[in-house]
Structure formats: structure tokens, C-alpha cells
Amino acid sequence: MQVLRMPRFTPGLMSDIFYEVEQVGGKDFGGVFLRSGLGDADIVYSSSWGSPARVVRTEQAIRKSRVDVVLIVLGVAGEAELSQDGRSTLLRRGSLALIDSNRTYEIKVAKAWKAIWLKIPRQALEARLFTYRDWLGQSLSTSHGLGYIASQMIHACLRAAKVLEDVEARFLANSVLDVIATAFANAAKSESEGARSRHTETMLQRVNKFIETNIQNSDLSPALISRSCGISERYLRQLFASRGTTMTTVIRSKRLEECRRRLGGFGNCSPSVTEVAFSLGFENISSFNRAFKARFGVTPRQVKGT
């Protein structure tokens, strides 16, 4: 277990423990951190003190950072306010929350605050809870049910991390992550469908808007879309899967719709079928004609001739 002392806020030390964050106000704000590895994760106990301060993750820091993790934070004592993705929540004793390193956020600490943190690869959480973004800026009570079990396991991880062999640490990390993900998933089931899906719908709208704006781009791909929308390719695929479709199907459908609009919108000056098809990424005119007729019930030439 590594002990790191920070008499006052030190960006380099915070970057080493978590990643690049900044402090706003509270010049005498400091703390002590206990850190240990836990498989592919890190577990950190933090005890902070001093005048009121804000710790922020900025767009500039995100652009420069190579970190792609999610923080799972469990309040131990005191209180802090977490704000991310347009929502805010108070982190009190027993509050469990998720923080996305690739989105801006801030934590306001009024005075002494203690917490336990799990720093985990994003893909490890997405594989278990792809809707985790619905929980950003919110917290889960650990006073009962799986939340309580998750809390006890996190405390156990902190105590045991320094004495576990690597294989044991990985097993424990995977087990606690399974319980945490299930606790959040079960809590989501108790909410209304509208509340649970609001963030997912917002992300789908953002992705669809980007696709529509860049529909002519021949390089439109999962990598480009996910990078531009600030999400992973895995989450991108799962967004469309949750609606019973795929991203490839959506892009193809939108390109066909744009082809129909162009073929029927210019009168005698409209471009040829081949020009329209090629400009929107269809490389084989025969397959384009078949796809167009299957989609609209008429051929491209029939639309162009109307």
C-alpha cells in the first residue's frame, strides 16, 4: 500500500493518483492518499481537508489526456458535491457514484471528506453496464440490498489489496465490479422508463445528428463517430442494439434517404443515379439499385423521372 501525502493541492500528484484535474479556490486544500493495485484496477483511500475547494476535469485536460477510465467512488465520511453531465449529487457516507474521465465534471468539497475510489478501465465497466452514463451525476445508496454488499466489498478490497497475490486481486476486482454493476442495473429497474432512458435517448440523438451532418463523408465509421461524440465504439454499438438495429443499418438507411432526396429534388438538373450513388458511398451501382428498391419500393430511375 503506497502512502501519498499532499499538504496542498499538487496537480502532478493528483495526475499520478487519478489523472489530470485542476483545483479552483481553497489554497490550503490538501490530503492523504493510500493507493494499491487491484488487478487491472487501482483502489485509493482519500482523506482531504482544508478550506472549501473545487476539483475540476476540464475539456483541455481531456483533450491532452490518454486516460480512459471510470472512477467508482464510495463516500466514507463528510460530504462532497459531484456534478457531471448536467446533473449533481451529494456524496455522503455510503453514497456510491460513477465518474467518467472523458467528460468534464467538478467536485465541490466544503471541508474534510473521506472516500474510497476504484479506478477501472472503461471497457471493464461497459462490458457489465453499458448504460452506466445514465448514472453520471447521480449516486446510489448502499444502505441495503446489493448496494450494501458492494459497499462492504469495496471496504474489503481496500483492506486486502496489499496482501493479495495478483491472481487473487484480479478475481476480487472482477467480483466487486460484477456486484457494483448489478447494483446499479437493479436500481435503474426501479425507476420509470423515461427517467432510465433519458440519457440514452440524448446520446442517440447526438449520434444520429452527427451521422446526418456527415452522411457524405466516405470515412464515416464507428471510430470517427464514437470519437466525435465522446463515447466508445462498444457503447456506440450497444446504443443501436438497444433499439433493435445496428449502426451500419442506420447509416445505410440515411444514405438511401439522402439519395432519394437528391434524385427527386433537382428536376431536369438532377445528377445521374450513378453520381448520386457514388457520392454517398455506394460503390456498386447494381447493389445500390437493389437496396434502393427494397427500401422505397421504386427504382432510383423512377424517382429521378418523377
- Do residues 115 and 236 share a domain? no
pLDDT tens column, 177-197:
999 998 988 886 555 445 556
**DSSP E strands, 50-177:** 53-57, 69-84, 87-91, 95-100, 105-121, 139-141
Helix or strand or coil: residue 20?
A: coil
Count of domains for the chain? 2
Looking at the structure, tell me whether residues 176 and 267 fall in a common domain: no
* pLDDT at residue 191, rounded to an integer: 54
pLDDT of residue 192: 46
pLDDT at 238: 82
Where residue 91 sits, what CATH number does that domain have?
A: 2.60.120.10
In the chain, which stretches have pLDDT less than 50? 192-193
Question: Same domain for 168 and 54?
Answer: yes
CA distance 220 to 206: 15
Q: Are 203 and 229 in contact (CB under 8 A)?
A: yes
Which one of 190, 225, 253 terminates a domain? 190
Q: Which residue has the cell 484535474?
A: 21
Residues 18 and 147 in one domain: yes
Query: What integer pLDDT is reported at residue 272 of this predicted model?
Result: 84
Q: Based on the domain organization, do 170 and 223 belong to the same domain?
A: no
Report d(CA 173, CA 251) in Å as an integer: 38
Contact 106, 53 (CB under 8 A): no
At 263 the pLDDT is 80
CATH number, position 289: 1.10.10.60
Domain co-membership, 49 together with 167:
yes
Whether residue 200 sits in one domain with residue 80: no
User: Is the domain of 55 the same as that of 150?
Assistant: yes
pLDDT digits (tens, 9 = 90+) for 256-301: 888 888 887 655 566 788 888 888 878 888 888 888 888 778 888 8
Residues 83 and 218 in one domain: no
46/165 same-domain check = yes
What's the pTM value of the predicted model, to 2 decimals?
0.66
Rg for the chain (alpha carbons), in Å?
A: 24
Domain region containing 231: 196-305
**Which of 124, 155, 190 is the last residue in one of the domains?**
190
